[in-house]
């Protein structure tokens, strides 16, 4: 069975060099690791296996998401798909934490403080964004650019980042800030949402495509 119309597919980028070193990335621009490349290709193959053919794709201004999308589109045989890059989909800005190993950050501040900055909805790391601030750009973008297209019957692909996607998922699933603290998206995880003709979510599938060993 082919995927339904009115479908939104969210994918986190493949593993980056910062992910591999357990660094806060934020607006930094690390490249994909060999594993990340394999994950991105596997995600594209999985979507092709599921029968997807997209009408448009969106990604962030950051290279790791753009590279992931390009690798996925190769596997989907959709190299000519219209692609829009958007600041609104950029990762959460971690400010002074950016580039730090998470253990280094816990040593510099405290484990409790770093956990609060990472997981709470409202806490703002020095010079950075809270998740609430991230949502203040991603949710209007979702409503104005993504939801409109989905309701027109399009199949929309979004490749972005852990926190920018978490904030969109929070909106779609009506999660509380408390529930969101325990919700994570792994690298190259695929979240497939289908919608009714009046805009409500009527189905969700989460897929992590196995990638070849690297």
**Residues 6, 150 contacting (CB under 8 angstroms):** yes
Q: Cα separation of 52 and 27, whole Å? A: 30
Q: In what order do the strands lie in the sheet with 7-12?
A: 83-85, 56-59, 155-160, 7-12, 190-195, 201-207
Q: Which CATH class is domain 7-94+135-207?
A: alpha beta
pLDDT for position 139: 98
Strands 56-59 and 7-12: unpaired
**Coil, helix or strand for 156?**
strand
> What's this model's pTM, rounded to 2 decimal places?
0.95
Where residue 39 falls (left for φ over 0; alpha for ψ -120 to 50; beta otherwise) is alpha
DSSP strand E in 86-209: where?
A: 155-160, 190-195, 201-207
Angle at 18 between CA 74 and CA 134, to 5 degrees: 85
Active-site residues, by number, are: 13, 91
pLDDT for position 178: 86
Q: Cα separation of 161 and 158, whole Å? A: 10
Closest to 16 in 3D by CA, of 65, 59, 71: 65
Low-confidence ranges of the chain (pLDDT < 70): 1-2, 211-214
First to last CA, the chain: 32
CA distance readout (Å), 136 to 92, 122, 145, 171: 11, 12, 14, 11
Q: Cα separation of 181 and 201, whole Å? A: 22
**Residues 58, 88 contacting (CB under 8 angstroms):** no
DSSP strand E in 6-146: where?
A: 7-12, 56-59, 83-85
Residue boundaries of the structural domains of the chain: 7-94+135-207
In this structure, the chain runs to a length of: 214
Q: Quick: pLDDT tens for 37-61.
A: 999 999 999 999 999 999 999 999 9
Q: Quick: pLDDT tens for 91-123.
A: 999 999 999 999 999 999 999 999 999 988 999
């Amino acid at each position: 069975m082919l995927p339904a119309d009115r479908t939104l597919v969210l994918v986190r980028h493949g593993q980056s060099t910062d992910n591999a070193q357990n660094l806060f990335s934020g607006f930094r621009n690390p490249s994909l690791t060999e594993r990340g490349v394999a994950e991105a290709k596997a995600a594209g193959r999985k979507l092709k296996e599921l029968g997807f053919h997209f009408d448009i794709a969106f990604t962030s201004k950051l290279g790791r998401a753009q590279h992931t999308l390009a690798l996925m589109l190769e596997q989907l045989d959709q190299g000519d798909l219209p692609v829009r890059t958007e600041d609104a989909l950029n990762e959460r800005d971690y400010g002074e934490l950016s580039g730090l190993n998470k253990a280094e950050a816990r040593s510099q501040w405290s484990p409790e403080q770093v956990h609060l900055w990472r997981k709470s909805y409202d806490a703002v790391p020095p010079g950075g964004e809270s998740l609430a601030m991230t949502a203040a750009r991603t949710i209007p973008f979702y409503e104005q650019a993504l939801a409109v297209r989905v309701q027109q019957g399009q199949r929309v692909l979004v490749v972005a980042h852990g926190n920018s996607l978490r904030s969109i998922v929070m909106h779609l699933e009506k999660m509380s800030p408390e529930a969101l603290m325990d919700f994570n998206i792994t690298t190259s995880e695929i979240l497939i949402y289908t919608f009714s003709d009046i805009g409500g979510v009527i189905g969700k599938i989460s897929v992590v495509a196995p990638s070849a060993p690297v």
